[in-house]
Amino acid sequence: MSSKKLFCLFSLIFILPLGVAAEVKLPTLEHIYWKMGGWFNDTTPSGSGNFESPLFMSFNVPPSKKSECVFFEFGSQSLIQWIPNVAQSFWSGYRFKFKSAAIPAGFTVETMTSLEWVSDQGFMRQGQFRTNKTTYKLAIVRDAFLESYVYRPLQIKDANGSYVPDDIANGILNDLLDSGFEVEMTVVGYAQGVQNFILISGWIDVTRTGDK
């Protein structure tokens, strides 16, 4: 539900008489999925390199015709073994690949986010480096492609690898919410001057809005 809808809803409750306000149905939050996993281990070369893990975890979101939004809250913490005396930098995150019969043949639906990184290029790090725990929130919102946005709500591409028009993408997004979908998660990132990368822990919590 958008912030405007929430503001209007709460304003209405405060304005209405108590007996009438009690009849207003508030949106509910329903927990769908929670999982924690870890110890994905990927050895990377001393030169620059992108990496992606095998399937890290997957989950299903059931049909959600009454939902305005599905929330992902997720995070990670990693351990890095540096190679000394070479350029060093690192980042990692999750790639979410959506699977559903509602996605047209040849189309892909996914999104990716960075969770942890060392942004400055240094040459003096030695031994092991443990990243801070990070958390991130992602909202899959109905009709999101009709709103103004800085980043696309989801990356929806056709068989040629091109982004589909917003009206088509918006229909696919809403169909995903209505019919349900599966999400496959992988660990992705970039490593330079890294001998070893271990995902100590990774987790995700999935909820959705609804009306009851």
- What pLDDT does 46 receive? 55
Domain range for 92: 27-210
Give domain status of residue 125, yes or no. yes
Give domain status of residue 63, yes or no. yes
Per-residue 3-state assignment (H helix, E strand, C coil) for the chain: CCHHHHHHHHHHHHHCCHHHHCCCCCCEEEEEEEEEECCEEECCCCCCEEEECCCCEEEEECCCCCCCEEEEEEEEEEEEEECCCCCEEEEEEEEEEEECCCCCCCCEEEEEEEEEEEEEEECCCCCEEECCCEEEEEEEECCHHHCCCCCCCCEEECCCCCECCHHHHHHHHHHHHHHCEEEEEEEEEEEECEEEEEEEEEEEEEEEEECC
Give domain status of residue 112, yes or no. yes
What's the domain count of the chain?
A: 1
- What pLDDT does 142 receive? 96
- What pLDDT does 14 receive? 44
pTM of the model as a whole: 0.83
Give domain status of residue 41, yes or no. yes
- What pLDDT does 13 receive? 42
Give domain status of residue 198, yes or no. yes
Give domain status of residue 32, yes or no. yes
Give domain status of residue 164, yes or no. yes
Q: Going from the first residue of the chain to its last (212 residues), give the mean pLDDT of each consecutive group of 10, the final group possibly shorter.
A: 43 46 69 84 66 90 95 93 85 96 97 87 79 92 92 95 96 97 94 86 93 60
Give domain status of residue 4, yes or no. no
